Amino acid sequence: MKKIEYFTVLPGEPAPLEKSVFRTVRFNEIDPMGIMWHGHYASFIEDARVALGNEWGIGYQDFYDHNIVIPVRKFHVDYLASLTYPSTYEIRARLFYSEAARLNYDFTILDSNQNVMARGYSVQLMVDKNNNLLFEWPKFTQQFLASWRAGTLKK
């Protein structure tokens, strides 16, 4: 099966940033059929987005500390196979570079054998404390963006 690409890397743009988190399906997350209930996927994907953002200083708290919130504008999941109790899985998030004031993430959920169980994407916008949409990245992110563009980003 051909992998779906939700976002593209344009010529001259830096590669996406990537972060994985690992989880185990808990008993309280399965439905009566013994599979993970689809509604839980959003929180697992959020775990990977949070880990990636925090690693680079562009997490929810970083934005909030600068009076900016980053609401989800789009969220899409393609469910390909079921996760079952008590399987372990990986949630891999990738953040794609954008000049626009938005966070474009794709994600892949893999089982312990690296089989793709689900994949999808989310788009988050940036708004100020008065709920005004931002069209440029905030000042506190400028060094991060410049380093990412230049390929010199360091943790």
> In this structure, what CATH number is given to the domain that contains residue 146?
3.10.129.10
In the chain, pLDDT over 70 holds for what percent of residues?
99
What is the tens place of the pLDDT at every residue in 47-90?
999 999 999 999 999 999 999 999 999 999 999 999 999 999 99
In-domain check, residue 131: yes
Q: How many domains does the chain have?
A: 1
Question: Per the domain annotation, does 10 fall within a domain?
Answer: no
Look up the domain containing 145 and give its range. Answer: 17-150
With respect to residue 144, please indicate whether it lies within any of the assigned structural domains. yes
Report yes or no: 23 and 47 within 8 Å, Cβ to Cβ: yes
Closest among 117, 115, 91, 85 to 105, alpha carbons compared: 91
Residue 12 covered by a domain: no
In a domain, 55, yes or no: yes
pTM: 0.93
Residues contacting residue 85 through CB under 8 Å, at least 6 positions apart:
25, 26, 27, 29, 30, 34, 36
Residue 4 lies inside a defined structural domain of this protein = no
Phi, psi (degrees; rounded to nearest 5) at 145: -65, -45
65 belongs to a structural domain: yes
Nearest to 50 by CA among 82, 1, 93: 93
